[in-house]
Amino acid sequence: MALPVDVEALDKAFSGIGVDEKSLISILTNSNEHKRSLRKGSSKLFIEDENGFERWDQSSIKILKHQFNRFRDAVVLSLLHPWERDARLIEKAIRKGPKHYNVIVEMACTRSSDQLLGARKAYHSLFHHSIEEHLTHIKGRERKLLVALVSAYRYEGTGVNEDVAKSEAQILYEAINNGDKNKLLDHEDAIMILASRSKQHLQALYRHYNQSYDKTLAQDLEGEGILKDTVECLCTPQTYFTRVLEAAVKEDADEESKRALTRVIVTQKEQLVKEGFVPNKIQDILLGLYKDFMLASIASGDIK
């Protein structure tokens, strides 16, 4: 007979992000009678039909599939060559549509010029087209910005012309505040600035914008989707990644938000370590091998 503590432990093993495999082995290697009691006691996982038969709740099966796959997905992403990994993530984001375009922004804006060029080369080999070709299938206004971002080969030196940065901050301010925000993705100067300038230049621009106007650039772009993601990834990556990770561990987080946790920790490890990311906010909600792998990934600080 399964004790209440075993039923509670079974529910808890599936109640975070990932699966507590050790607890499951301990609970599920008991007698058939014990497991029958577990089925009757675990209303989160099983339902009883009109004939008294205990069976899986179909929605629970779907959730468990995602939970068991998290460790596998993290391992696969870690094993792939970084260029192949980024190329596959970009291709998947293009296929899945607008809600996933932030992944393209992540890859384009957080990589060095050589890393992004490597991902573009890998894309040619894997999909026999360029990223730009596949982005032309996008019908929305995001296409122009996305094509410009993935095509960039940014200067990576430290030199910044502060006067130019300040004048381009004004260009962005006027584009955002003196026109139709819905047309911002069609503003050629804004796209040119975001897609071609060095990250050091854009960070100086960001500083001038915040010092010169009532609202910060991030505040003025609130609700603007990939435009805000682009600015954050280029100018304040820690803000962007913190936002993504916090969204992933909310109680009401959807599956896509939870998947982002794996992607960000595995693919942005260098950035997380550089920005001094402390994993306290995620370690209490992760479970099992997935938790061990994620925390070890951050702690190792491997730079690929």
Mapping DSSP to helix (H, G, I), strand (E, B) and coil, where does residue 192 land? helix
Percent of the chain with pLDDT over 90: 54
Which of 69-73, 197-201, 254-258, 297-301 is predicted most confidently? 197-201
Residue range 123-130: mean pLDDT, rounded: 98
Q: Are the C-beta atoms of residues 301 and 269 closer than 8 Å to each other?
A: yes
Distance CA 168, CA 175 (A): 10
Q: For residue 61, what pLDDT band results from cuts at 50, 70 and 90? A: confident
Which backbone phi and psi does 136 adopt, to 5 degrees?
A: -65, -15
pLDDT of res. 250: 87
Q: pLDDT tier at 302 (50, 70, 90 boundaries)?
A: low
Higher-pLDDT residue of 5 and 203 is 203
Residue ranges for the known binding site are 14, 16, 18
Specify whether the CB–CB gap between 38 and 6 falls below 8 A. yes
Q: Which pLDDT does position 231 carry in this prediction?
A: 96
Q: Is pLDDT larger for residue 64 or for residue 55?
A: 64
Q: Is the pLDDT of residue 1 over 70?
A: no
Placement of tokens 């490890």 in the chain: 269
Q: In this predicted structure, what is the pLDDT of residue 37?
A: 73
Choose between 291 and 36: higher pLDDT. 291
Helices (H), the chain: 4-13, 21-28, 32-41, 58-79, 82-96, 101-110, 113-127, 131-135, 142-151, 162-177, 188-196, 199-212, 217-220, 226-235, 237-248, 255-267, 269-274, 280-283, 288-300
Write the pLDDT tens digit of every residue in 98-122: 999 999 999 999 999 999 999 999 9
Contact status, residue 186 vs residue 141, Cβ threshold 8 Å: yes
Model confidence over 32-46: pLDDT tens digits?
776 777 776 666 677
Domain boundaries, the chain: 4-56, 80-239
In three-state secondary structure terms, 20 is coil
pLDDT of 182: 63
Distance CA 216, CA 221 (A): 9
Task: Let me know: does 108 contact 100? Beta carbons within 8 Å.
Answer: no
- CATH label, 80-239, candidates 1.10.10.10, 3.40.50.720, 1.10.150.120, 1.10.220.10: 1.10.220.10
* Cα-based distances in Å from 42 to 10, 28, 35: 8, 13, 10
pLDDT digits (tens, 9 = 90+) for 224-244: 889 999 999 999 998 898 899
Tokens 């808890």 sit at which residue?
Answer: 12
Q: pTM to 2 decimals? A: 0.87
What pLDDT sits at residue 196? 96
Q: Do 19 and 34 meet the contact criterion of CB atoms below 8 Å apart?
A: no
**In whole angstroms, what is the distance from residue 287 CA to residue 271 CA?**
24
Mean pLDDT of 273-286: 74
d(CA 137, CA 180): 25
Bind-site residues for Ca(2+): 14, 16, 18
Positive/negative CA dihedral, 207, 212, 216, 222: negative
Q: What is the pLDDT of residue 4?
A: 65
Is the model more confident about 51 or about 145?
145
Is residue 303 pLDDT above 50, yes or no? no
Mean pLDDT for the chain?
Answer: 87
Average confidence (pLDDT) over 154-168: 96
Task: Output the pLDDT for position 72.
Answer: 94
Q: Which of 176, 180, 219, 213 is nearest to 194 (CA)?
A: 176
pLDDT at position 115 is: 96
In the structure, what pLDDT confidence band is assigned to residue 123 with cuts at 50, 70 and 90? very high
